[in-house]
């Protein structure tokens, strides 16, 4: 066949022929590479090393710096950036690609990695979806798929080949500052949502001829540090790893996931990046992952100056390569490359070990089509932020809003005449989006699109006939320094209004900058709420936050509570339409909202995790699978009501190769059309390894008109209630099980 001669390459090599198999191409290319070229492929460096100013925001290439790194050190990958114009990205990637493809002998294209975690977040004008914690609250995997799909659709033309998402860690520790990057605390929800995101990114046919790779991160157990602080040690049994932390990653791998990023922390005393057990025995041998493993940011360096497990950088490199790492996100120097050379020289790392990693990396580049289509294009930039994409983000945001309390049907607020909007998120765009939006820690307020709404402006639009009044933070007197006279003047002002929306919560943070000492809602906000709650106007607390800040003492003081989470660019519109009732809320908590700052448990805790010495209370707790949550996992109100029938089973028992059909009927008993998510749990009465009180196995959304009934079913097989032992092998316990929907349950046996 005729192969087009690439400019700058001297010969036509077999690896340039797209008609032969990827493995033949990889083998051919590998044998033409020098050792140092191979090591270069195993390195990822930061954009600041190849841009003009060395500043993160700068997406303008310095060709001299890039040439040095690519021609002399053969660097195969770069990462990072910030939200700049598509044309700027396009130019940057053309120039970077040209150096790699046309100005080196082998012409191996670079692969560029970027943290587009909820839409193309480092691209001006892009569509920004809700963060993952909100997507999970929709219990609609289509939204996770759309988030991945639109991300690829809007960014793959720009040379963004590699998306550092989804986060498949479990949101089990609400203190953890990356809680909002997760799909919540439940392994099944994270599995379904995460794999949908991966498919959206990797299987988007509209991006042809380009393809993108997704990254499941941060493998594994990162989210459950004992202190709740970022990157601090976790103590996890192998049982917990196999049973709870593995499934979300496994499902993504089964869906064709191409890359995995490591957890920067330690588990049981071993930093994960240096753990052969986690990266090789578990991830490769047991889970069957054969894609690329990349470290997180400077994980190898952290072995020296954070974990103190390696005396120097070279030792750290040895530990991580020995553990199974393919690419070092070094990302600011060339010590990985020089250390690797020395380690090979000393006979501690073999070239065959290097070949293993480089094969995977080259295979990734071939599979993404980088050799055939290395250059970005700019003739489809109209796709970025186009209305259809933003509609997808709006639909996701609407379904992600969770109504937690609605005393006396405060909501929907029909025809209020005067609305007051207060609180730190009343008029903020950035607070609605959280970190990894436009910039690592979230962009500056002025960077957000003009057409994006804040809660205040969205309410103005939602209620064109009402007077909507914004209270600046300075308009709320300091509750601790206020005189009686000032207090009553302020309350008089509020009493003249009929609806108050207090938008509380958190400002954006990312990673360690979000570490906190106290999970309670910040004192200033609680004090303000106390004061405001004395007014006669109805008070709606709207929580715009990345993790569940404790509100236990406040819930009786407010009439309604909306958990808005981090709903993204379209979030304010979604909140306003839920307040007005144009949208009937349908979000359900993907985590247990904690009641106390010092005691929290996920819904799938052990029976012995929550007990009482009072036998009656103990019995009630066990019977109801209770937990100490303020609002339990799966909770969320609607403007209509749903009634469930008993759970019916097709049989009372099954053998190890049998199945039982479980059915439940749900009726909309209210006056509004509404959507309910039905959660199907199972629970084993006895297990040789202590079992969770219940485990989510299936969920389904159903939309019903008033009076309408739907019959839903879930087919239970022994495999669905099997659980892994330490080796990862699943066992099926014979005995009695329950299938649970809401408070209803029915029992069956495995015989």
Q: Which residues are identified as catalytic?
A: 296
- What's the closest the beta carbon of residue 8 comes to ligand BGC, in angstroms? 31
CA angle 48, 49, 50 (to 5 degrees): 95
Q: Indicate the SS3 state at residue 737.
A: strand
Do residues 339 and 314 lie in contact, with contact meaning Cβ atoms separated by under 8 Å? yes
Does residue 363 have a cis bond before it (omega within 30 degrees)?
no
Q: Which of residues 312-351 bind ligand BGC (CB under 6 A)?
A: none
Nearest to 167 by CA among 138, 139, 197, 141: 197
3-class secondary structure, 727? coil
Main-chain phi, psi angles of 465, to 5 degrees: -90, -5
- Are 640 and 706 within 8 A, CB to CB? yes
Query: Could you tell me which of 245, 226, 362, 243 has the C-alpha nearest to residue 292?
Result: 362
Q: What distance in Å separates the CA atoms of residue 339 and residue 127, rounded to the nearest whole number?
A: 42
Residues 52-81 that bind ligand BGC (CB under 6 A): 79-80
Q: How many helices (H) and strands (E) does the chain have?
A: 22, 27
Binding residues with ligand BGC: total (CB under 6 A)? 8
| Span 167-206, contacts to ligand BGC by CB under 6 A | none
Measured from the CB atom, the residue of 223 and 406 that comes closer to ligand BGC is 223
Residue number with CB closer to ligand BGC (169 or 399): 169
Alpha-carbon torsion 505, 452, 127, 61, what sign?
Answer: negative
Q: Is the CB of 217 or the CB of 698 nearer to ligand BGC? A: 217
Q: Which is nearer to ligand BGC, 169 or 186 (CB)?
A: 169
Cβ-contact 434, 566 below 8 angstroms = yes
**Binding string, 105-134, against ligand BGC, x = CB under 6 A?**
----------x-------------------
Kindly compute the dihedral angle of the four CA atoms of residues 495, 496, 501, 505, in this order, to the nearest 10 degrees: -50
Output the six-digit token pair for 444. Answer: 């500056």
How far is Cα 173 from Cα 18, in angstroms, rounded to an integer? 47
Given the complex with ligand BGC, which of 259 and 682 has the nearer CB atom?
259
How many other CB atoms are there within 10 angstroms of residue 659's CB atom? 14
How far apart CA 168 and CA 96 sit, in angstroms, is 31
Question: Which is nearest to 326 in space by CA: 260, 230, 281, 271?
Answer: 260
Query: Minimum distance from CB of 44 to ligand BGC (Å)?
Result: 9
232 binds ligand BGC (CB under 6 A): no
**CB 185, CB 603: distance < 8 Å:** yes
Phi, psi of 257 (to 5 degrees): -50, 135
- DSSP conformation letters of 4-50: PPPTT--S--GGG-TTS-HHHHHHHHHHH--HHHHHHHTEEEEGGGT
Q: How far is the CB of 252 from ligand BGC (least distance, A)?
A: 15
Choose between 302 and 698: whose C-beta lies nearer to ligand BGC. 302
Contact of 150 with 160, CB cutoff 8 Å: no
Beta bridge partners of 562: 403, 542
Q: Which of 462, 450, 448, 545 is nearest to 505 (CA)?
A: 545
- The Cα 548–Cα 525 span in angstroms is 14
Q: Give 46 or 733: the residue with its C-beta nearer to ligand BGC.
A: 46
Rounded Cα distance between 664 and 94, Å, is 57
Give the nearest distance from C-beta 115 to ligand BGC in angstroms: 5
Q: Shortest Cβ distance from residue 720 to ligand BGC (Å)? A: 32
As measured in angstroms, the least distance from the Cβ of 510 to ligand BGC is 8
409: exposed, middle or buried (Cβ count in 10 Å: 0-12, 13-18, 19+):
exposed
Among 13, 36, 277, 297, binds ligand BGC (CB under 6 A): 297
**Using CB under 6 A, which of 103, 487, 498, 511 touches ligand BGC?**
511
DSSP string, 398-411: HHH-EEEEEGGG--
Helices (H), 156-282: 187-202, 238-240, 246-254, 276
43-46 vs 328-329, strand pairing mode: parallel
State which of positions 684-703 bind ligand BGC (CB under 6 A): none
Is 681 a binding residue for ligand BGC by CB under 6 A? The answer is: no
Nearer to ligand BGC (CB atom), residue 164 or residue 642: 164
The C-alpha atoms of residue 359 and residue 23 are separated, in whole angstroms, by 8
Question: Judged by CB under 6 A, which of 89, 153, 164, 176 binds ligand BGC?
Answer: 164
> Closest separation between CB of residue 439 and ligand BGC, Å?
11
Binding mask 207-226 for ligand BGC (x = CB under 6 A): ----------x---------
Q: Confirm if 463 and 579 have CB atoms less than 8 A apart.
A: no
Helix orientation angle between 523-532 and 484-495, rounded to the nearest 10 degrees: 70
Q: Quote the least distance from Cβ 166 to ligand BGC, whole Å.
A: 11
Q: How far is the CB of 98 from ligand BGC (least distance, A)?
A: 25
Shortest gap between Cβ of 447 and ligand BGC (angstroms)?
A: 18
Please state the closest distance from residue 113 (CB atom) to ligand BGC, in A. 7
Site for ligand BGC in 80-99 (CB under 6 A): 80
Q: Is 217 or 383 the residue whose CB approaches ligand BGC more closely? A: 217
Q: Does 296 bind ligand BGC (CB under 6 A)?
A: yes
Q: Give the contacts of 245 (CB within 8 A, at least 6 positions apart).
A: 169, 170, 187, 220, 221, 224, 236
Q: What residues line the site for ligand BGC (CB under 6 A)? A: 79-80, 115, 164, 217, 296-297, 511
């Amino acid at each position: 066949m005729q192969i087009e001669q690439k400019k700058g390459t001297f010969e036509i090599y077999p690896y340039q022929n797209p008609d032969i198999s990827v493995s033949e191409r990889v083998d051919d290319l590998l044998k033409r590479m020098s050792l140092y070229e191979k090591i270069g492929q195993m390195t990822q460096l930061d954009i600041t090393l190849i841009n003009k100013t060395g500043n993160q925001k700068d997406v303008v290439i310095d060709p001299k710096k890039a040439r040095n790194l690519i021609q002399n050190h053969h660097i195969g990958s770069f990462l990072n950036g910030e939200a700049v114009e598509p044309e700027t990205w396009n130019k940057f990637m053309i120039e970077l690609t040209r150096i790699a493809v046309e100005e080196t002998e082998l012409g191996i294209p670079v692969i560029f990695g970027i943290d587009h975690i909820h839409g193309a977040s480092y691209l001006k004008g892009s569509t920004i979806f809700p963060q993952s914690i909100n997507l999970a609250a929709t219990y609609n995997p289509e939204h996770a798929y759309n988030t991945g799909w639109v991300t690829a659709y809007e960014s793959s033309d720009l040379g963004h080949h590699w998306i550092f998402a989804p986060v498949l860690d479990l949101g089990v520790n609400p203190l953890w500052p990356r809680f909002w990057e997760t799909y919540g605390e439940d392994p099944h929800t994270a599995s379904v949502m995460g794999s949908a995101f991966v498919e959206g990114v990797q299987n988007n046919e509209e991006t042809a001829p380009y393809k993108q790779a997704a990254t499941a991160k941060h493998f594994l157990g990162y989210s459950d540090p004992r202190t709740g602080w970022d990157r601090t040690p976790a103590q996890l049994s192998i049982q917990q790893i196999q049973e709870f932390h593995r499934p979300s990653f496994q499902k993504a791998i089964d869906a064709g996931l191409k890359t995995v990023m490591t957890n920067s922390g330690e588990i049981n005393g071993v930093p994960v990046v240096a753990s052969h057990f986690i990266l090789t025995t578990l991830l490769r041998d047991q889970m069957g992952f054969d894609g690329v493993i990349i470290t997180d940011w400077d994980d190898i360096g952290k072995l020296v100056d954070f974990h103190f497990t390696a005396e120097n950088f070279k030792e750290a490199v040895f530990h991580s390569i020995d553990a199974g790492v393919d690419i070092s996100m070094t990302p600011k120097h060339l010590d990985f490359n020089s250390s690797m050379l020395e380690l090979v020289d000393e006979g501690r790392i073999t070239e065959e070990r290097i070949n293993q990693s480089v094969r995977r990396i080259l295979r990734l580049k071939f599979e993404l089509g980088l050799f055939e289509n290395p250059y970005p294009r700019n003739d489809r930039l109209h796709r970025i932020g186009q209305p259809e994409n933003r509609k997808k983000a709006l639909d996701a945001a609407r379904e992600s809003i969770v109504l937690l309390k609605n005393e006396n049907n405060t909501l929907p607020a029909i025809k209020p005449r005067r609305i007051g909007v207060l609180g730190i998120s009343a008029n903020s765009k950035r607070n609605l989006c959280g970190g990894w939006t436009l910039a690592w820690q979230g962009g500056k307020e002025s960077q957000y699109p003009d057409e994006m709404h804040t809660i205040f402006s969205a309410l103005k639009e939602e209620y064109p006939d009402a007077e909507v009044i914004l209270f600046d933070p300075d308009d709320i007197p300091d509750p601790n320094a206020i005189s009686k006279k000032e207090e009553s003047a302020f309350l008089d002002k509020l009493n003249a209004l009929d609806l108050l929306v207090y938008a509380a919560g958190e400002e954006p943070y990312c990673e360690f900058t979000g570490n906190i000492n106290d999970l309670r809602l910040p004192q200033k906000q609680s004090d303000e709420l106390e004061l405001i709650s004395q007014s006669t106007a109805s008070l709606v607390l709207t929580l715009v936050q990345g993790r569940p800040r404790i509100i236990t003492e406040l819930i009786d003081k407010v009439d309604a509570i909306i958990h808005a989470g981090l709903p993204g660019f379209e979030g304010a519109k979604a909140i306003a339409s839920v307040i007005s009732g144009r949208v009937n809320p349908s979000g359900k908590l993907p985590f247990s909202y904690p009641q106390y700052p010092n005691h929290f448990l996920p819904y799938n805790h052990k029976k012995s995790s929550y007990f009482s010495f009072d036998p009656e209370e103990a019995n009630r707790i066990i019977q109801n699978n209770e937990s100490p949550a303020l609002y339990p996992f799966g909770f969320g109100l609607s403007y209509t009501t749903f009634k469930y029938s008993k759970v019916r089973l097709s049989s009372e028992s099954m053998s190890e190769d049998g199945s039982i059909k479980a059915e439940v009927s749900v009726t909309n008993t209210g006056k509004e059309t509404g959507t309910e998510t039905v959660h199907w749990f199972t629970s084993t009465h006895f297990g040789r390894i202590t079992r969770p009180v219940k485990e989510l196995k299936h969920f389904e959304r159903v939309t019903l008109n008033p009076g309408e009934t739907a019959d839903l079913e879930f087919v239970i097989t022994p495999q669905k209630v099997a659980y892994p032992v330490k080796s990862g092998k699943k066992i099926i316990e014979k005995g009695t099980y329950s299938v649970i929907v809401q408070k209803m349950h029915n029992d069956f046996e495995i015989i």
